[in-house]
Amino acid sequence: MAVIVQKFGGTSVANAEKIRGAASRAVAAKRRGYDVVVVVSARGHKTDDLVELAHEITKHPRPREMDMLLSTGEQESVALMAMAVHELGEEAISLTGAQIGVLTDTTHTKARIVSISTKRMQELLKAGNIVIAAGFQGVDAEMNITTLGRGGSDTTATALAAVLNAELCEIYTDVEGVFTTDPRLVPEARKVERISYDEMLELASLGAGVMHSRSIEFAKKYRVQLRVRPAYSDGPGTLIAPESDNATSVVTGVAFVRNEALITLVGLPNQPGVMSTLFSSLSAAKIPVDMVVQNVAREGTANVSFTVAEDELKAALVVAKATAASLQAEDVVATTGLSKVSVVGHGMQTHTGVAARMFQVVAARGINIRVVTTSEIKISVLIDRSRCNDAVQAAHSGFQLEKATSSLPQVGCVSNGHRNGAIDAASPELTADIVARLDSMESIVVSDITADTNQSRVTLSNLPDDPGIAETVFTAIAAGGVLVDMIVQNAARDGKATISFTVLRSDLDCAILLLREVMETYVGSIVTSDRRIGKIAVSGIGLRSHTDVGARLFRCLAANSINVEMINTSELKLCVVISADQADLAMTQLRTEFGLHANV
């Protein structure tokens, strides 16, 4: 019999009436002929309340005890849900993570799933039960209770759907589906009918709280059909599928992380191994970093900045300070009170001017951009927190996301060019082959590594740190129809900002010409370029949140004395710019490191 997994979030099981409503959906699916597995979150604000309670007892609750405590929220829900199903005349049985056999690693409060045994669930389903599974929790090999990180019930649901080979995984929540941005912040936000795994993965990872980003990793890896639906009505929701259907719009959505912090290591030696040391330590502490920015070295020293979620700042600073000391850096500077706003969409791979448009709409509201990073399908800007809502609204209306098909005449299309190369390099067979070799369900999938030596880098330094600079620069370039690939704008130092970007080598002279006039207006600004660079792209799924991929990448490059000049990260690709002469060496070494066959 076909299996369906239905997941109900906290609001959707907040009280007895809602639990009854959820139970009747499960019963209806069962009566339609499905084997039904229901995954339930803790009721309402239960998890928040438990967190608060722990902090009333101690400032530093130990993670193991935190997991023991938080897992009780879901345990309460499953029992109540099973009772509600019984009342409706069907058989149901509730199970904790341990009882289902969700085995995780030992990282308390953000554990990853190693395996799930389906035997007990299959038997219970076969006997006619609706299986009610506690979301968000598992056990490690020593039977310690673990949790998967806030919002982790989505991941339990897609993981169960994957192992049970479910026909569909429905995520019931308190909104109509996936919107172009958080509808609570932007009332004009539009519900999308269908969104690709890649776009949803990026949006979720960049802050769209509607789905836990790791659940989308599962969905993509194991090809789970996912539908986000309202629990309170019969709305069709949003299908998350291999492809989106919005080929006409360049940008799909806007995501934001309100509480972001920036850490800068100042005055690092400009030599191979610096990034490796830093990333290995951050990875060991399981701290995912975003917006990694490295200064092009001046006078033999470089600065490296990166952002982390503000609640990870303390832990990240401990690591950063230790690394800075071991590398004899001059200083470590932390900036708080920041937010990260990102636009995501497949269309930007082939359209010029998306970055320019983003910077225009932000500058038009007088918002200063402190840091910029891009990847093949996203542009992120770091701004002051007080301007976060403004920036989200500006980006949303600037890309006309409230309309089903936007017509943005200023955004041009380059039909034969690609930012960062075509995205989905891995064929389905290749991915299936790699997935089959994984020894842990949440192991990372690195599916391909490529080198591109057809690009050049332009660096603009000594720029004033004022609103509108990035806008002016990229508007000038977009006006000439040049497709910009990686963009990195650094945190300003001494009131001066630096922007680096890459373009096809054949466009380099044109880009510099287009910039001449603009740069003349910034007294003291400097343009430098590197005609031949090597860009290495590591493709896969969940690469940023699995912190060890970056660490392995940098370690491997350092071991081969390869210096990293520019970096960008996304869940789908990690890109580094290195010297063109070392591109072949980097490729061979990285392919070996990540267990890929020799380059074909």
Residues that bind Mg ion (CB under 5 A): 9, 151
Say how many residues touch ligand ADP, by CB under 6 A.
19
We find the least distance from the C-beta atom of residue 262 to ligand ASP, in angstroms, to be 26
Site string for ligand ASP, 508-547 (x = CB under 6 A): ----------------------------------------
Question: For residues 194 and 496, which CB has a smaller minimum distance to ligand ADP in the complex?
Answer: 194
Give me the residues paired with residue 157 across strands: none
Cβ atoms of 505 and 453 within 8 Å: the answer is no
554: helix, coil or strand? helix
Residue 209 in the binding site for ligand ADP (CB under 6 A): yes
Amino acid letter, 437: R
Residue 205 in the binding site for ligand ASP (CB under 6 A): no
Copy the structure tokens of residue 12: 């959707």
We find the least distance from the C-beta atom of residue 209 to Mg ion, in angstroms, to be 6
Selection from ligand ADP, Mg ion, ligand ASP, none that 101 binds (CB < 5 to 8 A by kind) is: none
Question: For residues 136 and 179, which CB has a smaller minimum distance to ligand ASP in the complex?
Answer: 136
- Residues 240-269, interacting with ligand ADP (CB under 6 A): 253
Q: Which helix (H) or strand (E) holds 318?
A: helix 313-326
Amino acid letter, 347: G
Choose, by CB under 6 A, the member of 31, 55, 62, 184 that binds ligand ADP: 184
Residue among 168, 95, 167, 166 at smallest CA distance from 130: 95
Dist CA 160 CA 138 (whole Å): 12
524: helix, coil or strand? coil
Q: Which helix (H) or strand (E) holds 473?
A: helix 469-479
Distance from the Cα of residue 407 to its chain's centroid: 27
We find the least distance from the C-beta atom of residue 536 to Mg ion, in angstroms, to be 35
Selection from ligand ASP, Mg ion, ligand ADP, none that 69 binds (CB < 5 to 8 A by kind) is: none
Residue 47 in the binding site for ligand ASP (CB under 6 A): yes
C-alpha dihedral, 292 to 534 to 202 to 427, nearest 10°: -150
- Residues 167-186, interacting with ligand ASP (CB under 6 A): none
- Residues 54-93, interacting with ligand ASP (CB under 6 A): 73
We find the least distance from the C-beta atom of residue 116 to ligand ASP, in angstroms, to be 17
Question: For residues 41 and 335, which CB has a smaller minimum distance to ligand ADP in the complex?
Answer: 41
Question: For residues 173 and 283, which CB has a smaller minimum distance to ligand ADP in the complex?
Answer: 173
- Residues 436-495, interacting with ligand ADP (CB under 6 A): none
Selection from ligand ASP, ligand ADP, Mg ion, none that 553 binds (CB < 5 to 8 A by kind) is: none
For 133-233, where are the alpha helices, taking DSSP H only?
153-163, 197-205, 213-221
Q: Which helix (H) or strand (E) holds 33?
A: none
- Residues 118-157, interacting with ligand ASP (CB under 6 A): 135-136, 150-153
Copy the structure tokens of residue 237: 């929701």
Q: Phi and psi of 226, rounded to 5°?
A: -115, 135
C-alpha dihedral, 243 to 247 to 249 to 250, nearest 10°: 80
Choose, by CB under 6 A, the member of 47, 173, 213, 539 that binds ligand ADP: 173
Residue among 408, 424, 413 at smallest CA distance from 347: 413
Selection from ligand ASP, ligand ADP, Mg ion, none that 42 binds (CB < 5 to 8 A by kind) is: ligand ASP
Choose, by CB under 6 A, the member of 3, 10, 260, 474 that binds ligand ASP: 10
Selection from ligand ASP, ligand ADP, Mg ion, none that 500 binds (CB < 5 to 8 A by kind) is: none
Residue 41 in the binding site for ligand ADP (CB under 6 A): yes
Copy the structure tokens of residue 259: 């509480």
- Only segment of 157-165, 177-185, 489-497, 519-527 that touches ligand ADP (CB under 6 A): 177-185
Residue 151 in the binding site for ligand ADP (CB under 6 A): yes
Residue 174 in the binding site for ligand ADP (CB under 6 A): yes
- Only segment of 7-15, 105-113, 320-328, 524-532 that touches ligand ADP (CB under 6 A): 7-15
Dist CA 209 CA 107 (whole Å): 22
Residue 10 in the binding site for ligand ADP (CB under 6 A): yes
Question: For residues 10 and 467, which CB has a smaller minimum distance to ligand ADP in the complex?
Answer: 10
Dist CA 270 CA 282 (whole Å): 20
Distance from the Cα of residue 76 to its chain's centroid: 31
Question: For residues 47 and 75, which CB has a smaller minimum distance to ligand ASP in the complex?
Answer: 47
Dist CA 182 CA 191 (whole Å): 10
Count the neighbouring beta carbons within 10 Å of the beta carbon of residue 381: 26
Dist CA 556 CA 571 (whole Å): 20
- Only segment of 59-67, 112-120, 172-180, 323-331 that touches ligand ADP (CB under 6 A): 172-180
Q: Which helix (H) or strand (E) holds 255?
A: strand 253-269
